[in-house]
Amino acid sequence: MSHDSPFPGSTETTRLDGRVERGNRTRQLVLRRTVDIASVEGLEALSAGRLATELGLSKSGVFALFGSKQELQLATVREAGRIFAEQVIRPAEQVPPGIGRVWRLCESWLDYSRGRVFPGGCFFYGVIAEFDARSGPVHDAMVSAHRAWTTLMERTIDEARACGELLRDIDVPQLAFEIVALMEAANAASVLHDEETAYHRARAGIADRLRNTSEEGVSVPRGH
C-alpha cells in the first residue's frame, strides 16, 4: 500500500508553509526590536548586524528578511504605524462622533506617549525630526504618516462641528494644529525631563481649547 499523500505536493507545501511561518515570526521579532531602537536612537541606528547580535539571529538571516537597510527602515515605520493605530486610533473609533471622540483621541495619544509604548516616547515625533530635511522613500513615508495623523485629527474635529457640538465657524485646521502642538510639546518635555507634568498641562490646554470652541451647553471634559 502506498503511503504517498493523496494531495500532490502537500508535503513540500507543508515545509514551505512552515518556513514562511517561521520567517513571519522572526520578522515580527525583529520589528518589535527595531521600533524600540528607532524611537530612542533613530532609524539610522538600525543594522542587520546589531539586530542579529541582540536577538541571537544570523546576520544573513536578518538581511534576507528585508533586503536592504532602507527596506528595514520602511518596515519599521509601517510596524510603528500599526502599533500607533492599535493604541491611539482604535480606542477613539469606539466613541461616537463629537467632542467625546476628539477628547478620546487626544487622551489615547497622551496615554500612548506617557505609557512609553515606545521607550523614546512618540515614535513619529522623533523619527520625523530625523528625516524632515532629507529626501527619499523614508522621508516620504514620514510625510504620509504625518499627513494621515493631521487629517484624522481634522476630520474628528470636523465631525464634532457637524454634530453641533463645536462652533460652526471654527477654523478646523487651526484647532487641530494647536491640539497636536500641545500633545507633541508634552511628549518632548516629558522625554527630556523624565517627568509627567507636561501631560497634565497638555490635557488642561486641550480641554480649554475645546471649551472655548464648543457650542453653549455642550459638556466638555475639564482636563484635570
Q: CATH number for the domain including 124?
A: 1.10.357.10
Domain annotation covers residue 183: yes
The answer to whether residue 171 sits within a structural domain is: yes
Average pLDDT, the chain: 91
Does any domain span residue 185?
yes
Q: Are 46 and 73 in contact (CB under 8 A)?
A: yes
Angle at 18 between CA 17 and CA 20, to 5 degrees: 65
Q: Give percent above pLDDT 90 in the chain.
A: 83
Neighbouring C-alpha atoms within 13 Å toward the C-beta of 218: 19
49, part of any domain: no
- Name the residue range of residue 116's domain: 69-213
C-alpha cell read off for 7: 494531495
The reply to whether 127 falls in a domain is: yes
The H or E element spanning position 138 is: helix 137-162
pLDDT at residue 7, rounded to an integer: 43
> Residue 204's Cα: distance from chain center in Å?
23
**Cα(84)–Cα(89) distance, integer angstroms:** 7
Flag whether 119 is in a domain.
Answer: yes
**Quick one: average pLDDT of 37-63?**
94
182 and 208 in contact (C-beta within 8 Å)? no
Residue 3 scores a pLDDT above 70: no
Of 92, 101, 114, nearest to 158 (Cα)?
Answer: 101
What is the rounded average pLDDT of the residues 101-105? Answer: 97
* 79 belongs to a structural domain: yes
CB 183 within 8 A of CB 113: yes
Confidence of residue 11 (pLDDT cuts 50, 70, 90): low
